[in-house]
Amino acid sequence: MSETAHALYEEAYSVQEQKSQARCIRTRVRDARAGTTGAAARWPFELLQNVHDAGPRSRKERVSVSFKWDGTTLLFEHDGTPFEVQEVAALLSGGSSKEFESEDNTGRFGSGFMVTHALACCIDIAIVITAAGQLELAGLSLDRQGDDEAILANV
């Protein structure tokens, strides 16, 4: 394959990969909101499972978790281990950064966070990230409404 053809292929593959990612997110959000998957009852446990998998910060024995509801907004907070960059990428893409058959984690399919979309298609996140050995606070707004193109634009 020529260099030109290979470069065009790489570009086309990247676009296709992004479209597939958007379709996967759209499907998972639709399924979570449909009420047929049990997501409406499962989302608190999925969030707790994610915190459990991450575990406590160093020199702590436990993770503190709170759910706060003011009638319109649900706030979920925990003081568990900060996210690694690859975990943030998995969260935003609707995937999982865990080993598929790992015995160290309770979840495996990366669907845990996606079931929170049973509550809303738009979610704001404040997240502590470990990047190059430094802790950073990032704010994210996920808008998972619309078609594949709209979702892709918001990834």
Q: What are phi and psi of 126, to 5 degrees?
A: -110, 125
The tokens describing 142, both together, are 């996920």
> Is residue 117 over pLDDT 60?
yes
Q: Give the mean pLDDT of the chain.
A: 81
Query: Residue 81 CA to chain centroid, in angstroms?
Result: 16
Residue 74 near residue 61 (C-beta atoms within 8 A): no
pLDDT per position as a tens digit, 24-34:
888 887 877 77
Q: How far apart are CA 69 and CA 75, in angstroms?
A: 6
pLDDT, residue 29, reads 79
Provide the whole-model pTM.
Answer: 0.68
**Total domains in the fold of the chain:** 1
Strands 83-84 and 122-131: parallel
What's the Cα-to-Cα distance from 138 to each of 15, 53, 85, rounded to whole Å?
A: 26, 21, 11
pLDDT, residue 134, reads 92
Domain hosting residue 139, numbered range: 3-154
Alpha helices in the chain (DSSP H): 3-34, 39-54, 85-93, 148-154
Contacts of 115 (CB under 8 A, 6+ apart): 32, 37, 39, 42, 43, 46
